[in-house]
Amino acid sequence: MKLYSTRNIDEVQMPKDAIIKGLASDGGLFCPKYEDLINAKFDIKNMLSNDYNKTALEIFQKIFEDFSTDELKNCISNAYKNFDVSSKNTITPVSEIGNNFLLELYHGPTSAFKDVALTILPQFLTTAYKSKNKNSKVYILTATSGDTGKAALSGFKNVDNVDITVFYPTDGVSNIQKLQMQTSEGNNVSVVAIKGDFDDCQKLVKEIYTDENIKKICEENNVVLSSANSINIGRLVPQIVYYFQSYIDLVNYKKINLYDKINFIVPTGNFGNILAGYIAKLLGVPIDKLICASNENNVLTDFINTGIYDKNRELYKTISPSMDILVSSNLERLLFLISNNNDLLIKNLMQNLNKDGKYCIDNFLLSKIKDNFLGYYATQNECIETIKNEFIKDERIIDTHTAVAYKCMEKYNEEFNSNVPCVILATASPYKFVRDVLKSIDDSNFENCDDFECFDKLNNLTNEKIPKNLFELKDKKVLFNDILTYNQCKDFVINKIKIN
């Protein structure tokens, strides 16, 4: 499919180029057109015998049409061989939780759902790169609220012709998340803490991409900037696959009938995961509602309910830090799709967002959003209670982000009393947020335990294994300790470009 800048449909790229570029030159995001997705619709009946990799291949063939089938097959097998499939023989198993379902997306190499896309993005990028015969170097800048960073560092480790720097907010991530990043090995990786929050990190990266001076320095040094954030279309498309595959699995397990509609409840930050769900719906997954679950940073809940997006509010630090975000980048793609590719409108809205921190959509667009999405949020106390209840009721231990989704599902059920089956996206291993999870289910005092002792305590309560990558952190050396201000970060990047 051709991919268009959301802010100017005259800027068109084929997928390989869009993946290399990351962001469009006007700051827009590359996105397929609504009608192209509708025209590519699958009949899910023909996919029932697919395993994960087959489903992935069929979806990539439609969207990333300038990749050959062999190229795609290679990308898929290289990416997904590193997942732990011991539990169910698939990289994203579906399990039961009460009367509903949990889509477990955290069995990858860094124990967060970001692995599904960030193991394959480097494959797409190097494949695209090779076929373009480029001799320049790619420099990947990544802003992270915690999980993207490590997943990207792991995915791009020692990849030829690629350098990567990850920026994370000093106080905005869990101990384990921080340790995962600080101990990253590889001859092409660097990690920087920013004095600020995730939105500052994201703004920094976007600013660097469009900075004319930095553009010049890149050209002089033969470096191309790219992104591992979900603004890169190569991040988004792999996430469509598990919406299909989980539906296929539920039909095959006889939990639902073919073409029954189901809901997905998605713990949301940057709106990447849930947007992939919307694209899956356009491509043929029988989805009733996509439920956007937020924590106290409930900008999206307000937006879905009122049509007003207003980031002028305090950013709360919560126990679900990967969702502590006020500017959800991928919403721009949703607006592009539901407005039938109205690039002028998107350009204006994004200008308003930049200028006033705020924009408003009309009732027609809002009603189209409401046809597909519902928005709820859960407070920190509600999450703690939910983790505890789920442990007692269903003997399941869910992480702090998944708990937000679970609580939002309960709020939806209270409001609508519907019997549509719900699939909750479980986005991280509970071990990644071990301290808050443990405190939720056990009243003892853990102040004197380090995170690794907490692993053992949680392990004793559950049959969920401690993921190997987290367990091994204990013996790893901290390699990155830099804390920089916003302005120092730009100099850091310029320096990196020059020594490449």
Ligand X SMILES: *Cc1c(COP(=O)(O)O)cnc(C)c1O
CA–CA dist 272, 323 (Å, integer): 11
Question: Residue 163 or 324: which CB sits closer to ligand X?
Answer: 324
Residue 114 is among the residues annotated as catalytic for this protein: yes
Mark out the alpha helices in 253-295 (DSSP H runs): 272-282
CA–CA dist 183, 477 (Å, integer): 6
Strand order in the sheet with 422-426: 94-97, 100-104, 422-426, 262-267, 287-294, 373-377
By CB under 6 A, is residue 114 in contact with ligand X? Answer: yes
Question: Residue 323 or 334: which CB sits closer to ligand X?
Answer: 323
Question: Residue 272 or 284: which CB sits closer to ligand X?
Answer: 272
- CB of 269: closest distance to ligand X in angstroms? 3
Among 6, 55, 273, 386, binds ligand X (CB under 6 A): 273
CA–CA dist 73, 79 (Å, integer): 10
**Residues binding ligand X: number (CB under 6 A):** 16
- CB of 235: closest distance to ligand X in angstroms? 9
- CB of 149: closest distance to ligand X in angstroms? 10
By CB under 6 A, is residue 123 in contact with ligand X? Answer: no
User: For ligand X, what does the binding mask look like between residues 158 and 197, x meaning CB under 6 A?
Assistant: ----------------------------------------
CB neighbour burial string for 71-91, b if at least 16 within 10 angstroms, e if fewer: bbbebbeebbeebeeeeeebb
By CB under 6 A, is residue 271 in contact with ligand X? Answer: yes
CA–CA dist 500, 494 (Å, integer): 10
Query: Of 64-72, 211-219, 265-273, 344-352, which part binds ligand X (CB under 6 A)?
Result: 265-273
Active-site option among 21, 114, 137, 178: 114
By CB under 6 A, is residue 269 in contact with ligand X? Answer: yes
Question: Residue 218 or 409: which CB sits closer to ligand X?
Answer: 409
Window 395 to 434, contacts with ligand X (CB under 6 A): 401, 427-428
**Cβ atoms of residues 265 and 100 within 8 Å:** no
Please give the C-alpha separations between residue 322 and each of 2, 86, 328, 370, in angstroms, as whole numbers.
31, 27, 12, 25
User: For ligand X, what does the binding mask look like between residues 378 and 397, x meaning CB under 6 A?
Assistant: --------------------
User: For ligand X, what does the binding mask look like between residues 295 and 324, x meaning CB under 6 A?
Assistant: ---------------------------xx-
User: Collapsing DSSP states into helix, strand and coil, what is residue 31?
Assistant: strand
CA–CA dist 138, 135 (Å, integer): 10
8-13 vs 3-5, strand pairing mode = antiparallel
CA–CA dist 142, 124 (Å, integer): 17
Query: Of 167-175, 261-269, 451-459, 481-489, which part binds ligand X (CB under 6 A)?
Result: 261-269
By CB under 6 A, is residue 287 in contact with ligand X? Answer: no
By CB under 6 A, is residue 256 in contact with ligand X? Answer: no
User: Collapsing DSSP states into helix, strand and coil, what is residue 139?
Assistant: strand
- CB of 232: closest distance to ligand X in angstroms? 12
Cβ contacts of residue 152 below 8 Å, gap of 6+?
Answer: 114, 118, 121, 140, 142, 144, 164, 166, 228
Query: Of 179-187, 255-263, 269-277, 477-485, which part binds ligand X (CB under 6 A)?
Result: 269-277
Question: Residue 137 or 178: which CB sits closer to ligand X?
Answer: 178
- CB of 263: closest distance to ligand X in angstroms? 17
Query: Of 5-13, 24-32, 263-271, 386-394, which part binds ligand X (CB under 6 A)?
Result: 263-271
Locate tokens 């967060």: which residue?
A: 112
By CB under 6 A, is residue 230 in contact with ligand X? Answer: yes
| Cβ neighbours, 10 Å, residue 134 | 14
CA–CA dist 340, 8 (Å, integer): 13
Q: Which of 76, 32, 11 is nearest to 50 (CA)?
A: 76
Cβ contacts of residue 52 below 8 Å, gap of 6+?
Answer: 80, 90, 91, 92, 241, 242, 245
Question: Residue 108 or 284: which CB sits closer to ligand X?
Answer: 108
Window 136 to 165, contacts with ligand X (CB under 6 A): 147
Q: Which residues pair with 399 in a beta bridge?
A: none
Query: Of 35-43, 267-275, 455-463, 485-493, which part binds ligand X (CB under 6 A)?
Result: 267-275
Among 108, 238, 272, 430, binds ligand X (CB under 6 A): 272
Report the catalytic residues. 114
Binding site for ligand X (CB under 6 A): 112, 114, 147, 230, 267-273, 322-323, 401, 427-428
